[in-house]
Protein backbone atom coordinates (compact mmCIF):
# COMPACT_ATOMS: atom_id res chain seq x y z
CA UNK A 1 0.00 0.00 0.00
CA UNK A 2 2.85 2.43 0.82
CA UNK A 3 5.91 3.06 -1.34
CA UNK A 4 9.36 2.00 -0.19
CA UNK A 5 10.23 5.68 0.32
CA UNK A 6 7.24 6.21 2.65
CA UNK A 7 8.16 3.16 4.70
CA UNK A 8 11.83 4.18 4.82
CA UNK A 9 11.01 7.69 6.08
CA UNK A 10 8.57 6.21 8.60
CA UNK A 11 10.96 3.60 9.96
CA UNK A 12 14.07 5.82 9.69
CA UNK A 13 12.84 9.41 10.04
CA UNK A 14 15.33 12.10 9.13
CA UNK A 15 15.79 15.13 11.38
CA UNK A 16 13.51 13.87 14.13
CA UNK A 17 13.90 15.28 17.63
CA UNK A 18 14.47 18.50 19.48
CA UNK A 19 16.44 21.51 18.27
CA UNK A 20 18.14 24.10 20.47
CA UNK A 21 18.73 27.71 19.53
CA UNK A 22 15.71 27.82 17.24
CA UNK A 23 14.66 30.75 15.10
CA UNK A 24 11.05 29.53 15.16
CA UNK A 25 8.90 26.58 16.22
CA UNK A 26 5.32 25.79 15.26
CA UNK A 27 2.84 23.04 16.02
CA UNK A 28 -0.07 22.11 13.80
CA UNK A 29 -2.77 19.48 14.11
CA UNK A 30 -5.19 17.74 11.85
CA UNK A 31 -8.44 17.88 13.81
CA UNK A 32 -10.02 15.14 11.69
CA UNK A 33 -7.46 12.39 12.35
CA UNK A 34 -5.59 13.81 15.35
CA UNK A 35 -2.11 13.96 13.76
CA UNK A 36 0.20 16.50 15.44
CA UNK A 37 3.38 17.93 13.92
CA UNK A 38 5.90 20.24 15.59
CA UNK A 39 8.47 21.81 13.28
CA UNK A 40 11.52 23.77 14.49
CA UNK A 41 14.11 25.61 12.42
CA UNK A 42 17.33 27.51 12.90
CA UNK A 43 18.04 30.10 10.22
CA UNK A 44 21.61 31.26 9.60
CA UNK A 45 22.50 33.83 6.94
CA UNK A 46 18.99 33.62 5.49
CA UNK A 47 19.05 29.84 5.01
CA UNK A 48 17.84 26.80 6.91
CA UNK A 49 20.88 25.66 8.88
CA UNK A 50 19.04 23.04 10.98
CA UNK A 51 15.51 21.68 11.04
CA UNK A 52 13.86 19.12 13.30
CA UNK A 53 10.39 17.69 13.73
CA UNK A 54 8.39 15.74 16.24
CA UNK A 55 5.20 14.05 15.11
CA UNK A 56 2.45 11.92 16.50
CA UNK A 57 0.28 10.39 13.86
CA UNK A 58 -0.07 8.05 10.99
CA UNK A 59 2.63 6.60 8.75
CA UNK A 60 2.28 9.30 6.09
CA UNK A 61 2.29 12.17 8.59
CA UNK A 62 5.64 11.03 9.97
CA UNK A 63 7.07 10.18 6.54
CA UNK A 64 5.91 13.53 5.11
CA UNK A 65 7.47 15.47 7.98
CA UNK A 66 10.75 13.60 7.47
CA UNK A 67 10.74 14.26 3.72
CA UNK A 68 9.85 17.93 4.29
CA UNK A 69 12.84 18.46 6.57
CA UNK A 70 15.16 17.07 3.91
CA UNK A 71 13.63 19.42 1.34
CA UNK A 72 14.05 22.40 3.67
CA UNK A 73 17.75 21.95 4.51
CA UNK A 74 19.84 24.78 3.10
CA UNK A 75 16.84 26.54 1.60
CA UNK A 76 15.99 30.24 1.75
CA UNK A 77 12.54 31.50 2.71
CA UNK A 78 11.85 31.88 -1.00
CA UNK A 79 12.75 28.21 -1.52
CA UNK A 80 10.53 27.16 1.37
CA UNK A 81 7.54 29.04 -0.03
CA UNK A 82 7.80 26.90 -3.17
CA UNK A 83 7.43 23.55 -1.39
CA UNK A 84 4.00 21.99 -1.94
CA UNK A 85 2.11 19.01 -0.57
CA UNK A 86 2.34 17.48 -4.05
CA UNK A 87 6.14 17.80 -4.06
CA UNK A 88 6.35 16.09 -0.68
CA UNK A 89 4.09 13.28 -1.90
CA UNK A 90 6.19 12.94 -5.06
CA UNK A 91 9.39 12.77 -3.00
CA UNK A 92 7.81 9.84 -1.18
CA UNK A 93 6.91 8.00 -4.37
CA UNK A 94 3.28 9.07 -4.14
CA UNK A 95 0.69 8.77 -1.39
CA UNK A 96 -2.61 6.90 -1.47
CA UNK A 97 -5.52 9.39 -1.69
CA UNK A 98 -6.74 8.44 1.79
CA UNK A 99 -3.28 9.27 3.18
CA UNK A 100 -2.55 12.52 1.34
CA UNK A 101 -3.45 14.44 4.52
CA UNK A 102 0.07 13.65 5.77
CA UNK A 103 1.73 15.82 3.15
CA UNK A 104 -0.90 18.53 3.69
CA UNK A 105 -0.13 18.58 7.42
CA UNK A 106 3.57 19.02 6.60
CA UNK A 107 2.89 21.98 4.31
CA UNK A 108 0.51 23.49 6.89
CA UNK A 109 3.40 23.38 9.37
CA UNK A 110 5.75 24.89 6.81
CA UNK A 111 3.36 27.79 6.06
CA UNK A 112 2.93 28.44 9.80
CA UNK A 113 6.72 28.39 10.23
CA UNK A 114 7.24 30.88 7.41
CA UNK A 115 4.62 33.15 8.99
CA UNK A 116 6.30 32.82 12.40
CA UNK A 117 9.61 33.83 10.85
CA UNK A 118 7.93 37.04 9.75
CA UNK A 119 7.85 36.38 6.03
CA UNK A 120 5.60 39.04 4.49
CA UNK A 121 4.22 36.80 1.70
The pLDDT of residue 121 is above 80: no
Q: State the pTM of this model.
A: 0.94
The domains of the chain are located at 4-116
Burial track 71-82 (b if 16+ CB lie within 10 A, e otherwise) = bbeebebeebee
Amino acid 1: pLDDT:
83
pLDDT digits (tens, 9 = 90+) for 24-77: 999 999 988 899 999 999 999 999 999 999 999 999 999 999 999 999 999 999
Domain 4-116 carries which CATH code?
Answer: 3.90.1010.10
Q: Please give the share of the chain, as a percent, with pLDDT higher than 90.
A: 90
101-116 and 59-72 helices, crossing angle to 10°: 40
Question: Mean pLDDT, the chain, as a whole number?
Answer: 95
The pLDDT of residue 119 is above 70: no
Burial track 34-43 (b if 16+ CB lie within 10 A, e otherwise) = ebebbbbbeb
Q: Give the mean pLDDT of 5-11.
A: 97
Amino acid 23: pLDDT:
96
Residue 88: pLDDT band (50, 70, 90) is: very high
Amino acid sequence: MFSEAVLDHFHNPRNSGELSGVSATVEVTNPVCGDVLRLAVRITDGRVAEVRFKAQGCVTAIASASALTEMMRGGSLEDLRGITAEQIADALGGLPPASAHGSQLATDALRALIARLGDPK
